[in-house]
Amino acid sequence: MILVTGGAGFIGSNFVLDWLAHSDEPVLNLDALTYAGNLHNLDSLRGDPRHVFVHGDICDRALLDRLLAAHRPRAIVHFAAESHVDRSIHGPAAFIRTNVQGTFTLLEAARTHWQALPADEQAAFRFLHVSTDEVYGSLGPQDPAFTESHPYQPNSPYSASKAASDHLVRAWFHTYGLPVLTTNCSNNYGPYHFPEKLIPLMIVNALAGKPLPVYGDGSNVRDWLYVKDHCSAIRTVLARGRVGETYNVGGCNEMTNLEIVRTVCALLDELRPDPAGPYSRLITFVKDRPGHDRRYAIDARKIERELGWRPAETFATGIRKTVQWYLDHPQWVAQVQSGAYREWMATQYPSAHAKVA
């Protein structure tokens, strides 16, 4: 069995589904079910004995100790995190609690569990920490892409909290010998993505005829990784990664935010035409957020060279699958658009919200 934290969130739930599609090894799924955690993402696993769900917090040491003792997982895959930059600007405390204190608590529980294992199980145990390229800071237009040795220069409360968690994981390896692995990924997109993030927000707003809010001039650049490619990379690192190493995971798709939005609009024009006209008419430029990093870019040659992993999807194929998934799952979209979500949108994009109120 493996323990997955945050397995009801966007990437975590995709990973659980992907894992059980490729393996019969059971998953113990621990998730606090905060606003972005959604058990409906895992509806297809209802009644599946390979999936054991526990509603709980990674800051709860007593719970972690009980779960590790009862289930004796051979590996921990740690997704659980607060992950939205805008939310971290408005409320950084939750990010420090989950991403820093939570990772520390999980590491300590894992260390105690690991140290008590027989020698052969100790040697096989792994703690895989899933992190982000945002810890590296911002790049200029011509700067080389982030490698695993790039200095950490986080610029938001979110990225600073993830950088802190990365450092804790590294320290628990060097100080205590805990067999850790770290992955730093670029922007993910795909099914089950909570619609506060760029791509699902654009799809959902466009279908509702609402403004498509784009920060600043829309020229911020990100590398985009289809979530199922990310899941395959994590499986690969868990299986064959060198203990103590970090692996950057990217999609080889650098694009500006405005290019992303226009691509989504063009696909919707094709797949679900709006009689009122092209969806691009809804693009609305809004005030840029504080400390908005200009460019991220991932150099993923290490994971390809050492482990033979490359993304299977191009951006063209991945974004088409993503848009079609949202068109095919209106009930999921309606379910996540709760009152709490609408209140968040009103806080984050007040001018855009006012235009559709």
Give the integer Cα–Cα distance in Å for 285 and 83.
23
Question: Is 24 labeled as catalytic in the residue annotation?
Answer: no
Give the integer Cα–Cα distance in Å for 26 and 180.
21
Question: Is 86 labeled as catalytic in the residue annotation?
Answer: no
Residue of 31, 57, 82, 134 with catalytic role: 134
**Tokens encoding 155:** 């610029």
Neighbours of 324 (CB within 10 A): 14
Handedness of CA 169, 173, 179, 180 (dihedral sign): positive
Residue of 31, 57, 86, 133 with catalytic role: 133
Residue of 82, 86, 136, 158 with catalytic role: 158
Question: Is 158 labeled as catalytic in the residue annotation?
Answer: yes
DSSP 246-301: EEEE--S-EEEHHHHHHHHHHHHHHHS--TT--GGGGEEEEPPPTT---B--B--H
Helix segments in the chain, DSSP class H: 10-22, 61-71, 85-90, 93-95, 103-115, 119-124, 157-176, 198-207, 227-240, 257-271, 301-307, 315-328, 330-336, 339-348, 350-356
Q: Which residue numbers are catalytic? A: 133-134, 158
